[in-house]
Amino acid sequence: MTRATIHDQLSTLADPTRGRLLLLLEKHELTVSELCAVLQLPQSTVSRHLKTLGDEGWLVSRAEGTSRQYRMASPLDASARRLWQLVREHTMEAAFAQHDADRLRATLAERKLKSQEFFSGAASQWDAMRAELFGRRADVGSLLGLLDETWTIGDLGCGTGQATEALAPFVRRVVAVDSSRAMLAAARRRVGDLENVELRHGELEALPIDDGELDAALLFLVLHYTVDPERVLAEVRRTLAPNGRLLLVDMVPHHRDEYRQQMGHLWQGFSREQLTGWLEGAGFSGVRYTPLMPDPAAKGPALFAATARTPTAGGQGPGGRARATARGSERRSSRLVPGA
């Protein structure tokens, strides 16, 4: 608060109304109209006292739309804090204090009721309203904040880098790999200015990534393009550190034969049993396979998200780990170069 003499402070708090205001604003942020309702005083009186308290450093305020929210300044300096403790004690003992507290509870309850009334009326349109204001991906995008900021994540089969771009602000480093130089060129145009992104050219079966380099790996709609998914999963396992995480998103089993001819799909989705067996064989544990809610506007097959983790330090999965380690020498460390 501003530096004021003890006499100034005593003068400011000599008025009982200012003590009542501070008692209310010590724990709650309130508007002028709410303070008027609680204290049962006209707006001009409340505003005058708020100005005095603000000028002396007892209050702070912030704009909220067309109104202002007031609260007690914090922290107070030592002399102001001691003075307030004394004034607070006497204010709470006054007869009006309990009436103020009762009206404050009613005012806060009315504020909550107004919010509930809004949500009751908006429930049927809430998703559309929020999408119009913040976009349809706001919820999903904010969930990326749950990622560990110290992680290195591999976007394996990164395509044009859409997921890489979304991940980069939330983690230490993203290693984006794709076998298509055209895709990597597109990714470079999208994320080339991000300092914590590395674009590397390589195959999923022989990733240009060191053993245990990644804390987490993402395979987003890419496994169905691979000739040998089991080999790919074993190779991904090799690149993950102990207690590393895998997120794999792909299609559930379907019968869209045209995808083979039109888009080069080699697999028509993956079942829970099939994928779980492959992941466990590659040395993963804790496999979860969760069908995703279909987007009503989507024309393709339904999707699933599968998660799994690697053993902690010293652990080794059955079979797949040994195969992946043996193939470690096969990987290529080529990276995207300008103009590739």
Q: Of 42 and 145, which is predicted with more confidence?
A: 42
pLDDT, residue 133, reads 64
* pTM score above 0.95: no
Task: Considering the chain, tell me which residue range(s) the CATH 3.40.50.150 domain(s) occupy.
Answer: 138-330
pLDDT, residue 84, reads 93
Could you report the per-residue pLDDT of 92-113, keeping only the tens digit for each? 888 788 999 999 998 888 877 7
Least confident of 22-36, 117-131, 241-255, 286-300: 117-131
Could you report the per-residue pLDDT of 300-327, keeping only the tens digit for each? 899 999 999 999 875 544 344 433 444 4
pLDDT, residue 263, reads 86
Q: Quick one: CATH architecture of 138-330?
A: 3-Layer(aba) Sandwich (3.40)
Could you report the per-residue pLDDT of 281-291, keeping only the tens digit for each? 999 999 999 99
pLDDT bucket at 295, cuts 50 / 70 / 90: confident
Q: How many CB atoms lie within 10 A of CB 296?
A: 5
Task: Considering the chain, tell me which residue range(s) the CATH 1.10.10.10 domain(s) occupy.
Answer: 6-122
Q: Of 255 and 235, which is predicted with more confidence?
A: 235
pLDDT, residue 86, reads 93
Residue 338 has pLDDT above 70, yes or no: no
pLDDT bucket at 337, cuts 50 / 70 / 90: very low
Could you report the per-residue pLDDT of 26-85, keeping only the tens digit for each? 989 999 999 999 999 999 999 999 999 999 999 999 988 788 999 999 999 888 999 999
pLDDT, residue 161, reads 95
Residue 333 has pLDDT above 60, yes or no: no
pLDDT, residue 210, reads 98
pLDDT, residue 317, reads 43
pLDDT, residue 328, reads 45
pLDDT, residue 315, reads 52
pLDDT, residue 107, reads 86
Do residues 159 and 135 touch, judged by C-beta distance below 8 A? no
Average of pLDDT values for 149-167? 96
Residue 2 has pLDDT above 80, yes or no: no
pLDDT bucket at 127, cuts 50 / 70 / 90: low
Could you report the per-residue pLDDT of 191-238, keeping only the tens digit for each? 999 999 999 999 999 999 999 999 999 999 999 999 999 999 999 999
**CATH placement of domain 6-122:** 1.10.10.10
Average of pLDDT values for 109-129? 68
